[in-house]
Structure 1
Amino acid sequence: MNELKKTNGTTLVELMVAFAIAGIFMVSATMLISSFTNVYLRIINRNRIQDISNVVMEKVVEELTYASETATEVDPDKIKGSVMLSGEDGSGNYLVAEYSNKDGNPVRMSTQADGEGNQKGLLLEYQPIYENNSPDGAILYEGSQWYMGKGFYKKNQVDLRFRKIENTACIEVILTVSDEKGRYKKTTEKCVECIDLDPNDVQGEGG
């Protein structure tokens, strides 16, 4: 009678152990890749916020540094100096800066949505220019709005505040850029000297 030959094979238990070990490795690899992906996305978001902060701050500094003392004062009762800060937020900061730019055009600087569903960003409103600088005069320039970089913000929000530094022609600019969900935020503060103005030319509303 012939004997059955013994064959070396894989038992069910060994297969189950092998699949379990493979599953552990796959889960670990997935978690590792997910972790690296999250870190990469955080770095990308933070770099984007940094870039937005740099570009917006550069524009704000350029505008305020060369604010002109030959302002076209459309409303003399409101604009008491060449740079007027208004919209006090309760903490000594202001939401709006009104001034004349280096070309002598009256400008209102703030941060808000542009009315077309875009995120909150830097807005420059060029005010009307009247003949003889009087609201009763003929309109020489209708005025316009300039919203910085539609699509530039990538769903990030920009908040801009101003603070007058007493006895100087300097304005402290406080710029905060945050992502849509508020997870990442960067606040930059910079003292901007209005080089063509005297200390009395920079005033806060009610000050």
Structure 2
Amino acid sequence: MHGPAMSGWLLVALCVVAGAYCLARTRSVRGAERRAALDEALMGFGMAVMAVPAAAVAPPDWAWVVYAVVFGAASLRALWSALGGTGHHLHHLVGSLAMVYMALTMAGGGAGAHAAHGAHGTAGGVPLVTGLLLAYYTVYVLVTGARLVPAGPAVGPVSGPAAGPVGGAGSRWAGPEVALACRVSMGLAMLAMLVGV
């Protein structure tokens, strides 16, 4: 969030693409999976807006409060879903709370806010909450990314454009592997944003 403008714009592009994919995926899924895709789209677009380099567009001070309110409401929704649902809602809860944390940190003055929340405990110069979130997202990216690695060599001949782990060429874009890759991308983007807090 405080890095060079080029890496900031690349982060914005990654988050916009991930958010757009998740939004498009809502058309092909139903029920809890559709709600999860909507939550991921909100996260992707929210991260994109938050990652815009300040040198290009400096948000007004009140914008950070709006981010905190929006993602605070998303946190409550994720908590409600997690109480009666699956473990993936817990990930959405952590993500929404991380967005609230970053918004409040930025509202407190960005890099100068390190002194303010440094008083709440630090881990080697890194604020405790930032360190915990960095650890969580590192593990999340590694575990989710490992699920993308093929279990073994393909059995049988592979031929034509329809060959692949999820069927035809059209279904490749809506398959579970693409959704996992999207989640890994957003996890990496969150790591990059947390490093800049």
Does TM, normalized by the shorter one, top 0.5? no
TM-score range, shorter chain: under 0.3
Instruction: Point out the structure with the larger strand share.
Output: 1
Instruction: Point out the structure with the larger helix share.
Output: 2
TM-score scaled to structure 1, two decimals?
0.25
Q: Which has the larger radius of gyration?
A: 1
TM-score scaled to structure 2, two decimals?
0.26
